Structure 1
Amino acid sequence: MSKFRKLEFYEQQRPYDLLPFKFDRLNDDEYVITNMAGEYHVIPETLLEPLISKTLPLSSELFPTLRAKHFIRFTTEQAPLQLLALKVRTRLSRLAQFTNLHIFVVTLRCDHSCPYCQVSRQSENTGEFDMTPQMAEKSLDFVFRSPNPAIKIEFQGGEPLLNFEMVKYVVVEAKKRNIKEGRDLQFVIATTLSLLNDEVLAFCKEHNIVLSSSLDGPMDLHNANRPRPGRDSHQRFEEGLEKARAALGFDQVSALMTTTDKSLLRVREIIDEYLRLGFDGIFLRTLSPYGFAIKTKKFMSYDTDRWLEFYKEGLDYIIELNKSGVRFVEQYSSLVLTKMLTSSDPGFVDLMNPAGAGIAAIVFNYDGAVYASDESRMLAEMGDHTFRLGNIIEQSYEEIILSDQLLDALENSFTLSAPMCSDCAFEPYCGAEPVFHHAMHNDMVGRKPESSFCKRNMGIFKHLIGLMESDAHVKRIFMGWANRC
């Protein structure tokens, strides 16, 4: 029988190896380190050099935490390598399922004239901008070629309710096909709710269709951002919301806001409006550089720093609400926190690696054109067809999915090899957004030091980590948000 070794044996320094990690300054005194699986830890500046030089003493309080989070391992250990690899595989497992979201642009017609709209909308009576049954059938052929066990079909426009007959046609035909396919089939209509009526609600209830709408804030702000004839956009939204909740269920209607220059000083009022109308969260969304947002110069009405002030003020208010017992979520933060605090990837297209274009979401335009993402379609409306993958009438599934337009975008959006992304400590939480960078810099990789996408996200990532490090109550709130996705 072997004897216990003397205490001095266990106290002596054992050699350790560094597992792959990156670091960035969090503030004047601390660094944040992250590994390939998205685990992070904040360490004092004075301990970074000893950690990297492998002179961190075993007696350091930091040592067991770094081992548990797979930043270091003892030289002879194999389990940390296997566990780290398992975590990375888990985070990337969604990629094997391929395309889940299929967007049908059933019309470009719209009854609103939003100055920041990302789509080249058409007047209500311009029927040549409607999807035809032939286009819908070909698009459905494509949809059910996806290997994903869950299929979501989202109807967009314009205002899709202006071509509601096509919405009905696609839903009925998709459900017929799904009798054989057996997929988890879901439907969403992206609508302003202004044209909602009993026929629409009855059909949505029968087929379990979810409604996704838009709310920019209190009545005066919403009506200014989303004008329509009669200046009653907000009134119609609120009336439609009440009808939809009564007919379909309270949680079957969601809302999305867009931040304009008029919104910047009113974030608390905007959040209060969401609370007043019974929503349990808000997505504090910035303007995108596409469509009318560019033509009307709305995209340039504020810079990234000003939007981050707006976001941080809104997040502080939401945290106050949660601390007082009101459960309310900032939804973009929730997506980021899911990647920071869990082993899951929520599959949000803008934060996917490689980009979610084509492999997470794909768009079938009213004219048969297929685009890599909703933003790609918006870019095409401006005359740039870089991300047009083909036409549903002219090309097969294989030709579209294996097109150079899609493969080039995916290759350029792989953050582990993209210049500057590969060295960034926040790479595990971010995406590359090739469509955005092409629109802004005429380069799919983009010029990262000038990228508002990078600046905005890095500001958010650092802010969220800083809040969790400084307040344990906030971290508990954020853990709840992360595990809700």
Structure 2
Amino acid sequence: MIITEKSTRKFNDENFYVNEISTYFLLPFRFLKINESHELIVNDIGDFMITPIGTVKQIVNRTFSKNENTELYYDLISNFIISESEKPELLPVIEARYRTKKSFLDNFTSLHIFVITLRCEHTCHYCQVSRVTENKGAFDMSFSDIDEGIKLMMQSPNPNVTMEFQGGEALLAFDKIVYAVNSANDQAKKFNKNITFVVCTNLAPITDEIIEFIKINNILVSTSLDGPEFIHNKNRRRPGNNSYEVTIEGINKCKNQLGQDRVSALMTTTSLSLHYPKEIIDEYIKQGFSNIFLRPISPYGFAKYNPKKNHYFIEEFLEFYKQGLNYILELNKNGQYIVEDYALIILKKIFTPFPVGYVDLQSPAGLINSVIVFNYDGYVYATDEARMLAENKDYTFQLGKLGSNSYNEIFYGDKSLEISDIFTNESLAGCSECAFQTYCGADPVLNHATQGDMYGFRPTNIFCKKNMEIIRYLFDLMIQDKNNEKIFKSWITGYNL
């Protein structure tokens, strides 16, 4: 081998790196290929640009000139991708925008879930909470634990708190709900809290007396509707096999007496559901709903033990989701206003500077920071999914016990600190460099349940696979058709096109 020039490990003079064509500074950004012709560039506060493939390479290699790409150049500056000065002149604006994105942390925990009973008269094959039969009163929350839960809720620094009653079937312990609402209202006056009440129910036990109490106390009603009769009754069994009929009757009764906006419904996607996205959406429209949340099954409770009805690959759900979203967009274009709620949550993160209240898409994660769960037996958990794990003897996310542990021990104790080490996606491998980081969140509970540790492994992570593809697809839809973007923005503003 002939060496013609002596090699050196010294850096070249700084002038060697100066490009006469483009002299600008790179600000922090991430990027991803959206489709065969476009790529996405996103900065730390969620501002984005959709550009032709190869744009990022040109920006980094500084192979485009300001004169030849004037519009692109100034778009990059206005979106805080590049800067003409080493320290951007609008740095205070970036700082303020970042603080706004994270402002959900300002007041700490808002949602306080009271698992008022584990009893239920349904036997849903995907039940996440391992319900017990209706007559087992030992599985109701005690009055003393209700008092202790309210005491902790009043210690939250958040002036606006939500008290949500879950089960089992919450209305089977209606006397406990009455006690809890009356007690919380009394305490709210002392601690100057604004309380939003929510009851999650299948509506089977609903009576005129219950509806009257709900109306007087301005309680929101959340129920389950999995689709048309043949799907709902297969998914959500009860004696008489009439869950659908009972649910629809309850929905109509509540809407008539409480108002259309006081009743919401959630669906769960089972193996059966995968084949009928249009029929499920049509059912929601038929029942007068303008929103639907297309959500996958959760790997907790009884949902894990019936693979024929409950197991499917995340890729199958994503295909179902895309078919459903495309159908919803088609309906909107034809004058039928209906919103897909999961897309809406993501779109708000994409198009607005404000945080969203959906705990699964927050970073730091919503567990503890936004939600806490008081179980029927008095134990406290980081999330609703965490207490579901506990029903299968996995107490990884148990934070303490009502009446035994103080507010500081529960919210700032060793277990909370352990979780906090890995609940921020900005510092997680595979998330820190992801273009969708600002639109996504962190879910240590799901990581633990599906991968065996709270940190998780992004390449095989179902949370990551689901969110990455849905977010990518939303951008792809906007590239394909500008009308899709108009529809998406109409969902954010609440105005039908």
Question: Which category describes the TM-score, using the shorter chain as reference length?
Answer: over 0.9
1:20 corresponds to which residue?
Answer: 28
- Cα deviation for residue 97 of structure 1 reads 1.0
- Cα deviation for residue 46 of structure 1 reads 2.4
- Cα deviation for residue 86 of structure 1 reads 1.4
Which region of structure 1 is more displaced relative to structure 2, 131-140 or 66-75? 66-75
Aligned-partner SS, 1:456: helix
Amino acid at match of 1:241: I
Aligned 8 A contact 2:271 2:309 in 1: no
Query: Deviations along 1:152-199, whole A, 9 cap, x unmatched?
Result: 000000001000000000100010111122222110000001111011
1:290 corresponds to which residue?
Answer: 300
2:384 corresponds to which residue?
Answer: 374
1:467 corresponds to which residue?
Answer: 477
Amino acid at match of 1:282: I
1:428 corresponds to which residue?
Answer: 438
C-alpha distance in structure 1 between counterparts of 2:418 and 2:251, whole Å: 42
C-alpha distance in structure 2 between counterparts of 1:25 and 1:142, whole Å: 46
| Structure 1 unmatched runs, 5+ | 1-11
Aligned 8 A contact 2:269 2:297 in 1: yes
2:342 corresponds to which residue?
Answer: 332
Amino acid at match of 1:146: S
1:217 to 215, 224, 227: 227
- Count, aligned residues: 474
| Structure 2 unmatched runs, 5+ | 1-19
- Cα deviation for residue 347 of structure 1 reads 2.0
TM-score by length of 2: 0.93
- Cα deviation for residue 76 of structure 1 reads 5.5
- Cα deviation for residue 256 of structure 1 reads 0.1
Aligned 8 A contact 1:336 1:429 in 2: yes
1:273 corresponds to which residue?
Answer: 283
1:419 to 409, 429, 433: 429
1:408 to 418, 424, 434: 418
- Cα deviation for residue 460 of structure 1 reads 0.2
1:251 to 254, 261, 283: 261
Aligned-partner SS, 2:158: coil
Aligned-partner SS, 2:328: helix
C-alpha distance in structure 2 between counterparts of 1:47 and 1:182, whole Å: 53
Amino acid at match of 2:120: C
1:25-424 mapped onto 2 (5 Å cutoff):
25-59=33-67, 60=69, 61-75=71-85, 78-297=88-307, 301-424=311-434
C-alpha distance in structure 2 between counterparts of 1:42 and 1:146, whole Å: 41
Aligned-partner SS, 2:469: helix
Aligned 8 A contact 2:297 2:310 in 1: no
C-alpha distance in structure 2 between counterparts of 1:79 and 1:167, whole Å: 55
Which region of structure 1 is more displaced relative to structure 2, 21-30 or 95-104? 21-30
Aligned-partner SS, 1:144: helix
Go from structure 1 to structure 2 and tell me whether the alpha carbon gap of 1:298 and 1:179 turns closer, same or farther (over 3 Å shift): farther
- Cα deviation for residue 32 of structure 1 reads 1.0
The share of aligned pairs that are identical, in percent, is 44
- Cα deviation for residue 484 of structure 1 reads 4.5
- Cα deviation for residue 47 of structure 1 reads 2.0
- Cα deviation for residue 402 of structure 1 reads 1.1
- Cα deviation for residue 425 of structure 1 reads 0.8
Deviating 4+ runs (over 6 angstroms): none
C-alpha distance in structure 2 between counterparts of 1:227 and 1:76, whole Å: 64
- Cα deviation for residue 298 of structure 1 reads 5.8
Aligned 8 A contact 2:271 2:310 in 1: no
Aligned 8 A contact 2:112 2:163 in 1: yes
- Cα deviation for residue 406 of structure 1 reads 1.9
TM-score by length of 1: 0.95
C-alpha distance in structure 2 between counterparts of 1:478 and 1:434, whole Å: 30
- Cα deviation for residue 13 of structure 1 reads 5.3
C-alpha distance in structure 2 between counterparts of 1:333 and 1:299, whole Å: 26
Which region of structure 1 is more displaced relative to structure 2, 328-337 or 317-326? 317-326
Amino acid at match of 1:69: N
Query: Deviations along 1:382-405, whole A, 9 cap, x unmatched?
Result: 110000001012100000011222
Which region of structure 1 is more displaced relative to structure 2, 142-151 or 177-186? 177-186
Go from structure 1 to structure 2 and tell me whether the alpha carbon gap of 1:77 and 1:359 turns closer, same or farther (over 3 Å shift): closer
Aligned-partner SS, 2:59: helix
Aligned 8 A contact 2:301 2:388 in 1: yes
C-alpha distance in structure 2 between counterparts of 1:173 and 1:423, whole Å: 47
Aligned 8 A contact 1:354 1:411 in 2: no
C-alpha distance in structure 1 between counterparts of 2:47 and 2:403, whole Å: 46
Aligned 8 A contact 1:159 1:192 in 2: yes
C-alpha distance in structure 2 between counterparts of 1:268 and 1:404, whole Å: 47
1:455 corresponds to which residue?
Answer: 465
Query: Deviations along 1:264-308, whole A, 9 cap, x unmatched?
Result: 111100000000000001000001110001122368621111111
Which region of structure 1 is more displaced relative to structure 2, 36-45 or 255-264? 36-45
Aligned-partner SS, 2:426: coil
Amino acid at match of 1:322: N
Query: Deviations along 1:122-153, whole A, 9 cap, x unmatched?
Result: 11110000011100000000001101111100
C-alpha distance in structure 1 between counterparts of 2:192 and 2:476, whole Å: 45
Aligned-partner SS, 2:274: coil
Query: Deviations along 1:33-63, whole A, 9 cap, x unmatched?
Result: 1111111112222222120123432131311
Go from structure 1 to structure 2 and tell me whether the alpha carbon gap of 1:361 and 1:304 turns closer, same or farther (over 3 Å shift): same
